Amino acid sequence: MNAHRILLCLMILAGSLAATEPVAVTFQLDWKPTAQFAGLLLARERGWYREAGIDLSLRPIPKDEGVVSNVVAHARWIGSVESGVLLQSRAAGLPVKAIGTMLQGTPICLISLRSAGIRSPRDLVGKRIGVHADGDEAVKYMLQRAGLDRRRVGVEVVGYDLTPLLDGRYAAVQGYSIDEGVALRQAGHDIEILHLHDHGYAAYGQVYITSEAFLKSEAPLLRRFLEISRRGWAAAVREPDTIAGMVVSTVPGTDRAHQRGTVEALIPMLTREGGPGSIGRMRRKTWERAVADFNALPSTPRRLRVSDIATFDLQP
């Protein structure tokens, strides 16, 4: 074989190898890389994304940055947010869409001591509750669905300290069932958890979002991402100890028992709308309810349609 042929073969081989190199994709988390993202962590650790041609980086959210704005500003970025955050961002004109969801419900909840007797929204009447700034609207939806005048419930925006709940200053506080709920139970507190999605709040948690530009240009890659993420979640629920070990070895200050508890608390929400085969999927009906509720708010800057918010074409 002459030198020209050898050079040509080497060039073809190099091109072939380059074509199989995984594509770098950044996933912008809306929290630290804890067990809250168990499916992604496990799939990445085991190389499943790379096998599918995706070199996935998981990026924790810095305090001074937003998930949606980061996803919009960078090429080949995906992110996760609560569905309410996506609605607000889309109404503000940011070009993002949901392509799937980790959770078919939301961990947003009201936590109370069991002794307070709060088993339904109606038990909140005449009580004082603390909510976070980003959960205030969710509580409004729940009270409205329950037919309750918000003026009959003392709703106050508070921080993340749970002491006011434990010392009786608030009858209930907003939290995340997979975080504060787990921590309180593991600390021995007898608590009641009122999930807002069980009482009229149509929402998804940890929704996969990406820019319209990425969606338009590389839909097959995004479809592969969803398929591998689904595989990761299906495996993660069978291996809570593995996930807990991964997190405590990489995230300072995390606790193994808490991380395992988080995985266990996530399991009912992964398949809430359709059983084991529905992991990662969204329902149009849920988004229709969420959009209708959002459009009915006096503070909504722009009315939305489901087609503005989500695409269902890529779901595995």
pLDDT digits (tens, 9 = 90+) for 91-119: 999 999 999 999 999 999 999 999 999 99
Query: What superfamily would CATH give domain 3-105+203-309?
Result: Periplasmic binding protein-like II (3.40.190.10)
Residues 261-281 have a mean pLDDT of 96
Measured CA distances, 271 to 102, 179, 237, 278, 312 (Å): 9, 19, 11, 6, 17
Provide the pLDDT confidence category of residue 263 given band limits of 50, 70 and 90. very high
Provide the pLDDT confidence category of residue 136 given band limits of 50, 70 and 90. confident
Whether residue 7 has pLDDT greater than 70: no
Looking at residue 2, what is its pLDDT?
A: 59
Task: Give kind and range of the element (H or E) at residue 218.
Answer: none
Residues 289-295 have a mean pLDDT of 95
**Percentage of the chain exceeding pLDDT 90:** 84
pTM of the model: 0.91
Whether residue 273 has pLDDT greater than 80: yes
Please choose, from the candidates 218, 225, 220, 212, the residue with its C-alpha nearest in 3D space to the C-alpha of residue 72: 212
Provide the pLDDT confidence category of residue 29 given band limits of 50, 70 and 90. very high
Question: Residue holding tokens 């409004």?
Answer: 140
How many Cα atoms sit within 13 Å of 126 on the Cβ side?
4
Residues 158-181 have a mean pLDDT of 95
Q: Tell me what the pLDDT averaged over the chain comes to.
A: 93
Whether the CB-CB separation of 37 and 206 falls below 8 Å is answered with: yes
Looking at residue 182, what is its pLDDT?
A: 98
Whether residue 81 has pLDDT greater than 90: yes
Fold of the 108-199 domain: D-Maltodextrin-Binding Protein; domain 2 (3.40.190)
Looking at residue 10, what is its pLDDT?
A: 43
Residue predicted with more confidence, 7 or 49: 49
Whether the CB-CB separation of 305 and 291 falls below 8 Å is answered with: yes
Looking at residue 3, what is its pLDDT?
A: 53
What whole-number distance in Å separates Cα of residue 26 and Cα of residue 54? 10
Whether residue 134 has pLDDT greater than 80: no
What whole-number distance in Å separates Cα of residue 64 and Cα of residue 127? 34
- Beta-sheet strands, E only, within the chain: 23-28, 54-59, 77-81, 96-103, 108-113, 128-131, 154-157, 172-176, 191-195, 205-211
Please choose, from the candidates 120, 142, 141, 109, the residue with its C-alpha nearest in 3D space to the C-alpha of residue 268: 109
Looking at residue 19, what is its pLDDT?
A: 52
What whole-number distance in Å separates Cα of residue 86 and Cα of residue 67? 10
Residues 162-168 have a mean pLDDT of 95
Which residue type occupies 95?
A: P
Whether residue 14 has pLDDT greater than 60: no
Q: What stretch(es) of the chain map to CATH 3.40.190.10?
A: 3-105+203-309, 108-199
Whether residue 205 has pLDDT greater than 70: yes
